[in-house]
Amino acid sequence: MSSNEPSRRPRRPVSATKKGTRARFPTRPATMSSPSALFEELLESSLNSDAPPKKISISSYKKTSSYTTAGAEYPFHPGNPYVPPPMPPQIPDVFRSYPVLRDTYQTKSQKDQDQTVSEVLPHITKRGNALPALKREKHIAFLESGLDEEQLPDYMVSLDASRPWIVYWCLTGLSLLGVDISRYRNKVISTFTPIQNATGGFGGGHGQMSHLAGTYAAVLSLASVGGSALSLVNRISMLKWLHSIKNPNGSFKVCIGGETDVRGIYCALTVISLLRLPTDNGLLKKTTEYLISCQTYEGGFAATPGGNEAHGGYTFCALAALAILYPPEKLKELIDMDALLRWMSARQYGPEGGLSGRTNKLVDGCYSTWIGGCWPLVEAALGCETGSLWNREGLVRYIMAATQNDKGGLRDKPSKNSDFYHTNYVLLGLSGTQHRHWYEADEETKEWEEGLPPMAPFGWKVEETTPGVTGWETWPDSRWGDSKTDRVEAAHPVFNIKHEMVEEARNWAESFL
Partner 1 sequence: MYQERPEWEDVIPLPQDDGALPLAQIAYTDEYAEAMSYLRALMAKDEHSERALEITEHIIEMNPAHYTVWLYRANIVFALGKDLRKEVEWLNEKALRHEKNYQIWHHRQLIIDKLDDSTGEADFIAKMFQKDAKNYHVWSYRQWLVKRFGLWEKGELEYVEYLLEQDVRNNSAWSHRFFLVCGNGQELTEEIVQRELGYVSDNIFLAPQNPSPWNYIRGILQRAKLPMSRIEKTCTYYAPLDNPEKIKSSHALDILAEIYSTIPEQKDLAIQSLDLLSSTYDPIRTNYWNYRKTQIQKAAA
- Please confirm, yes or no, whether 422 is among the known catalytic residues: yes
Shortest spacing between CB 413 and Zn ion, in angstroms:
9
Interacting positions 335-374 with Zn ion (CB under 5 A): 364, 366
Residue closer to partner 1 (CB basis): 99 or 122:
99
Residue 16 interacts, among partner 1, Zn ion, none and using kind-specific CB cut-offs from 5 to 8 Å, with none
- Please confirm, yes or no, whether 311 is among the known catalytic residues: yes
Q: Which of 397, 422, 484, 506 is catalytic?
A: 422
d(C-alpha 8, C-alpha 85), whole Å: 11
Residue closer to partner 1 (CB basis): 83 or 395:
395
> CA nearest 168: which of 457, 420, 358?
420
E strands, 367-422, in order: none
E strands, 157-282, in order: none
Residue closer to partner 1 (CB basis): 43 or 339:
339
Residue 505 interacts, among partner 1, Zn ion, none and using kind-specific CB cut-offs from 5 to 8 Å, with none
Residue closer to Zn ion (CB basis): 162 or 191:
162
Which positions ≥6 away from 249 have C-beta within 8 Å? 286, 290
Q: Which of 294, 326, 419, 487 is catalytic?
A: 419
CB atoms within 10 A of CB 481: 22
Q: Which residues make beta-bridge pairs with 437?
A: 462
* Contact call for residue 428 and Zn ion (CB under 5 A): no
Residue closer to Zn ion (CB basis): 126 or 361:
361
Residue closer to Zn ion (CB basis): 169 or 439:
169
Phi first, then psi: give them for residue 498, nearest 5 degrees. Answer: -65, 145
Report CA 109 to chain centroid distance, whole Å: 28
Which positions ≥6 away from 319 have C-beta within 8 Å? 301, 331, 374, 377, 378
Q: Which of 67, 184, 367, 425 is catalytic?
A: 367
Shortest spacing between CB 88 and partner 1, in angstroms:
20
Can you give the length of the chain in residues? 513
Q: Do residues 199 and 208 lie in contact, with contact meaning Cβ atoms separated by under 8 Å?
A: no
Residue 342 interacts, among partner 1, Zn ion, none and using kind-specific CB cut-offs from 5 to 8 Å, with partner 1
> CA nearest 127: which of 2, 9, 40?
2
Shortest spacing between CB 123 and Zn ion, in angstroms:
17
Shortest spacing between CB 52 and partner 1, in angstroms:
42
> CA nearest 24: which of 510, 503, 508, 512?
503
- Please confirm, yes or no, whether 412 is among the known catalytic residues: yes
Q: What's at 129, amino acid-wise?
A: N
Residue 87 interacts, among partner 1, Zn ion, none and using kind-specific CB cut-offs from 5 to 8 Å, with none
Q: For 159, which DSSP code? A: G
Pairing of strands 435-439, 460-464: antiparallel
DSSP per-residue codes, 47-116: H-TTSPPPP--GGGS--BTTB--GGGGS--BTTB---PPPPPPPPPGGGTS--S---S---HHHHHHHHH
Shortest spacing between CB 60 and partner 1, in angstroms:
37
Shortest spacing between CB 430 and partner 1, in angstroms:
18
- Please confirm, yes or no, whether 361 is among the known catalytic residues: yes
Interacting positions 101-120 with Zn ion (CB under 5 A): none
Q: For 211, which DSSP code? A: -
Residue closer to partner 1 (CB basis): 35 or 351:
351
* Contact call for residue 393 and Zn ion (CB under 5 A): no
- Please confirm, yes or no, whether 358 is among the known catalytic residues: yes
Q: Which of 311, 392, 437, 506 is catalytic?
A: 311
> CA nearest 402: which of 359, 360, 349, 358?
349
Residue closer to partner 1 (CB basis): 298 or 444:
298
Residue 405 interacts, among partner 1, Zn ion, none and using kind-specific CB cut-offs from 5 to 8 Å, with none
Shortest spacing between CB 342 and Zn ion, in angstroms:
23
Residue 366 interacts, among Zn ion, partner 1, none and using kind-specific CB cut-offs from 5 to 8 Å, with Zn ion
* Contact call for residue 412 and Zn ion (CB under 5 A): yes
Shortest spacing between CB 162 and partner 1, in angstroms:
7
d(C-alpha 194, C-alpha 210), whole Å: 12
- Please confirm, yes or no, whether 419 is among the known catalytic residues: yes
Q: Which of 170, 294, 366, 374 is catalytic?
A: 366
In 3-state terms, what secondary structure has residue 139?
helix
d(C-alpha 411, C-alpha 404), whole Å: 7
Residue 193 interacts, among partner 1, Zn ion, none and using kind-specific CB cut-offs from 5 to 8 Å, with partner 1
Residue positions annotated with a catalytic role = 311, 358, 361, 364, 366-367, 412, 419, 422
Binding site for Zn ion (CB under 5 A): 364, 366, 412
